[in-house]
Amino acid sequence: MVGTPVTPASKMIQRTPSTTPGGGTRVREEKILVTVRVRPLSRREQALYDLIAWDCPDDHTILFKNPNQERPATSYKFDKVFDPSCSTLKVYEEGAKNVALSALTGINETIFAYGQSSSGKTYTMRGITENAVTDIFEHIKNTQERAFVLKVSALEIYNESVIDLLNRESGHLRLLDDPERGIIVEKLVEEVVKDINHLRHLIGICEALEAISCLHSVIIFQWS
């Protein structure tokens, strides 16, 4: 885990207030939210009698228990902190749900996990993705007055090379600067989603390939 004692509060950009499809009220500022999830010890770590070096005294603070008793413990502030007992559902509900559902209002949103190897990134993102997919299709089902077209793309990045996870035979893809859409990936497959089971199937393909390659993967949802 990387941080600094002066971790800044969420950076804010002024914009018009709105509400999310989930019914939550969006604050006036557009935020970059930084949340931290502290994972529990693995079985191997427990067998080695390892100790958790972090405490979570409240929902916004983590405390590094320095083994050097001559130095005081160091605290770090974040928008939200989830202790080792928190479920992935709680992480999604309180740390990612509003972001995921805001995309349905036409706002570009990104949710990503950062951390060292074996810190729980894949485990957490798998749960967040599944819960987001469920909520998105629930919103589509409850919005009968309009038709949605949902597309999904998936790519992996390694040593600045981009590979299409839904068409691995395409080779390395180029990044282009589109005057209207911004940075795009040339010839990246955009699969039109038929239903929630089809989407889960596509995500499953990506997760299987990610487990084999252990690379950085990105799943992109687009709807109109």
H/E element holding 132? helix 121-142
Give the C-alpha distances (Å, rounded to integers) separating 180 from 18, 126, 167, 177.
25, 31, 25, 9
> Could you tell me the CATH number of the domain that includes residue 126?
3.40.850.10
For residue 213, say whether it is annotated as part of any ligand binding site. no
For residue 10, say whether it is annotated as part of any ligand binding site. no
For residue 124, say whether it is annotated as part of any ligand binding site. no
For residue 127, say whether it is annotated as part of any ligand binding site. no
Residues 89 and 184 occupy one common structural domain: no
For residue 14, say whether it is annotated as part of any ligand binding site. no
- Cβ neighbours of residue 161 closer than 8 Å, sequence gap 6 or more: 172
For residue 116, say whether it is annotated as part of any ligand binding site. yes
At 158-217, the pLDDT tens digits run 887 898 999 988 888 999 998 988 888 999 999 999 999 999 998 888 877 665 565 678
Q: What are the phi and psi torsion angles at 140 (to 5°)?
A: -60, -45
Structural domain for 174, as ranges: 149-224
4, pLDDT greater than 50: no
For residue 106, say whether it is annotated as part of any ligand binding site. no
Global confidence as pTM: 0.78
- Looking at 125, 144, 163, the residue that finishes a domain is 144
Gap between the Cα atoms of 196 and 137, Å rounded:
7
For residue 95, say whether it is annotated as part of any ligand binding site. no
Percent of the chain surpassing pLDDT 90: 40
Residues 57 and 121 occupy one common structural domain: yes
At 23-64, the pLDDT tens digits run 555 544 557 899 999 999 999 999 999 888 899 999 999 999
Residues 17 and 91 occupy one common structural domain: yes
For range 145-152, the mean pLDDT: 89
pLDDT band at 22 (very low <50, low <70, confident <90, very high): low
At 77-100, the pLDDT tens digits run 999 999 999 999 999 999 999 999
